Amino acid sequence: MLTVLTSVFWLIITLGVLVTFHELGHFLLARLFGVRVLRFSVGFGKPLWSRFDRHGTEIAVAPIPLGGYVKLLDERDCEVSAADKHRAYNHKPAWQKFLIMFAGPAFNFILAFVLYWMMFVVGKPEIKPTLGEPVKLMASAGFSDKDQLIEVDGEPINTWSDVSMYLITAGLDHRDIKVTVKTARGSLQEKTLPLSKLPQGIKETEMMTAIGLQPWRMPVPAIMGDLSPQLPAAQAGLQSGDLITEVNGTTVKDWYDLSEKIGQTTAPVRLSYMRNGQTKKAVIETFATDPDNPKRQVIGIRPMQPDEQVREYAQSLYYELSYGPVKAIPMAWQEMLKITGKSIEMIGKLLQGKASLDNLSGPITIAQVAGDSAARGFSWYLSFLALISLSLGIINLLPVPMLDGGQILFLLFEKIKGAPLSERFEVRAQLVGMMLLVSLMTLAIYNDILRTLS
């Protein structure tokens, strides 16, 4: 329950910041051009709180945190007195109306840039993108254990997020790409990853598995370390140094495999293990509460510590992705351009049918990821907030009625026609836009529910 409340809290914070900044763009440009703003609302529905500023604008906070709006004086929506006609939106030149509509998404891009700059200045803990034992396409292309990815498709790589972004977009096109790695010995090598061999119609969620990309992780055999005598494993007879070979009759490869199998099963748990060359068996009848985390149920097993050389290598892969305040400016700009470009590319692939609609996410996923990123640290949350801000800006520029991009498209038609569009046309277009947005939101929430249930 606490996890759900935490996710909801961070969803409200996330959308509150992004929506406020987006609507602030519309608000400030409208004020700049002398348009009267009737209401500035964060959220939809009947206001929970509101007040009027000295210009007569109602500032409101409403209960549904999935958006917001700026209501402008407009003769198409209400009666406007002769004295106020010059302050009505519909009486402004087309270029001013364009800038008012464009300002919302533009402020989202500005916010994303500032957030990325803050992220780089604060510093984000990362892991060097280093390969484990490659399989499938990675193995056939000649990649090796401990290869560190330096460039993918001609683009420099700093994080695993970069790797996923470039491989997935290239994989959807089934396009072979060049990958530069630094080997364990320190030499640079260029290899060709044959993404053209990926199965047709493969989903993005299956892409990394089909490619055979496996991040390096510390080798940890399923050998018992020190066991607490108060927990079920020790009470069932397990001792330090025992090698677990099977869980409920299924072979165990290493400690990671063992942890996964234990996490997926319920008591009783039947274990086979090796001690002094002899096979033994143990049955763990019940789970116990983890002394270090009351929310977890455990059987009380711990791995042996890897040797010092392995620990030192693992430690060398961790680094802080950070820059000084000046250097962070171009780096934030590059990051914003990179994410924007890949986001637009993915939208294009969705429209072409190359990317699956399963990728659409709604408020449930945003809440979960917001909570997770906040738990990982301030810089991770800044990165997430910047990504969502960019997504909001890009989506709002799509030429769909009800969105800013749709309003900009109407202004373009108006300019070409040389006269305002008919009210009947605009109403019908807005209705179509609303139906499209409701359909997409329904699909996104459906995808959220499926992810949560699975």
Are 338 and 159 a contacting pair, CB within 8 Å? no
CB crowding 354-384: b at 16 or more within 10 Å, else e: bbbeeebbbbbbbbbbbbbbbeeeebbbbbb
What Cα–Cα distance (Å) separates residue 272 from each residue in 54, 236, 282?
76, 12, 7
d(CA 42, CA 21): 10
Element of type H or E holding 408: helix 404-417
Q: How many CB atoms lie within 10 A of CB 164?
A: 16
Residue 80 corresponds to which amino acid?
A: V
Are 170 and 345 a contacting pair, CB within 8 Å? no
Q: Is 23 a catalytic residue?
A: yes
CB crowding 105-133: b at 16 or more within 10 Å, else e: bbbbbbbbbbbbbbbbbebbebebbbbbe
d(CA 48, CA 35): 26
The two beta strands, 124-127 and 318-321, are antiparallel
What Cα–Cα distance (Å) separates residue 280 from each residue in 232, 239, 251, 272?
16, 12, 14, 6
Residue 64 neighbours by CB under 8 Å, 6+ apart: 43, 44, 45
Which residue, among 299, 137, 117, has the nearest Cα to 209 in the 3D structure?
Answer: 137
Long-range contacts of 337-345 (CB under 8 A, 24+ apart): 338/155, 339/112, 339/386, 339/387, 339/390, 340/109, 340/390, 340/394, 342/165, 342/166, 342/169, 343/390, 343/391, 343/394, 344/394, 345/169
d(CA 119, CA 108): 16
DSSP structure class, residue 133? S
Q: What is the dihedral of CA 13, 14, 17, 22, to 10 degrees?
A: -150
Are 235 and 250 a contacting pair, CB within 8 Å? no
CA 243, chain centre distance (Å): 39
> Which residue reads 């009380």 in tokens?
300
Residues assigned a catalytic role: 23
